[in-house]
Amino acid sequence: MRTLLTHYLEVRGDKRMPSRRDIDPACLGPVLPIIWLSEYEPAAGTFRYRLAGEEVNEIFGGSVAGRLLSDFVAGDRFLVVNKNFLRVIHDEAALLASGPIYRCTDRIAMGERLVLPLSSDGVAADGLLGATARSALVDLDVISMNEQTSTFVPIDDLERAVKSAVGD
């Protein structure tokens, strides 16, 4: 996650947010399998995935590229995930989540998720760059689905938050 966040901050430069074109896969080598990119589609009220790493596609049983979030995340989980992703766009904030992930599949695991806003014009958020790192699968009888914690960090505070978390 640190690799992704560091790259995001570097390519953002003095812009409010980087664009999808600013993201350089060559700088993200080890985390490419867990990364995904999506664009907000106002008419659909949700996000269309443009690409996803191998691990993300494997979780959903095939490529999610070109598909709407609602095509592969159903029901109540879609409502929660879409609401969180919309908040990243509207509040221009990073989402940091940990706990049970991929709860919309039969492959629930403990893990962490980082979702960052992207902007095609460098000003208004209209896309997402995300990564989801998972560990071992979990038994639903043992863990509560409500144990996921989510924190939203305004993009203006990202560099300060990183410095306070990892030092200078």
pLDDT tens column, 76-115: 878 988 999 999 999 999 998 877 665 555 556 677 889 9
pTM of the full structure: 0.86
By mean pLDDT, which of 73-77, 122-126, 130-134, 153-157 is the weakest? 73-77
Q: Mean pLDDT across the stretch 40-48?
A: 97
pLDDT band at 12 (very low <50, low <70, confident <90, very high): very high
**Mean pLDDT, the chain, integer:** 85
Q: Mean pLDDT across the stretch 139-167?
A: 70
Angle between helices 158-166 and 2-12 (to 10 degrees): 140
Query: Which distant-in-sequence residues (6+ apart) come within 8 Å of 64 by Cβ?
Result: 36, 49, 52, 56, 57, 71, 72
Query: Which distant-in-sequence residues (6+ apart) come within 8 Å of 8 by Cβ?
Result: 18, 23, 116, 129, 158
Query: Which distant-in-sequence residues (6+ apart) come within 8 Å of 163 by Cβ?
Result: none
- Per CATH, the number for 2-160 is 3.30.450.20
Q: Mean pLDDT across the stretch 32-40?
A: 95
Q: Which comes out higher in pLDDT, residue 123 or 94? A: 94
Q: Mean pLDDT across the stretch 63-67?
A: 95
Please report the pLDDT score of residue 58 as a whole number: 84
Please report the pLDDT score of residue 164 as a whole number: 64
Please report the pLDDT score of residue 150 as a whole number: 81
Q: Which comes out higher in pLDDT, residue 74 or 138? A: 74
Ranges of each domain in the chain: 2-160
Please report the pLDDT score of residue 31 as a whole number: 94
Q: Is the pLDDT of residue 137 over 60?
A: no
Please report the pLDDT score of residue 61 as a whole number: 83
Cβ-in-10-Å burial (0-12, 13-18, 19+) of 1 comes to: middle
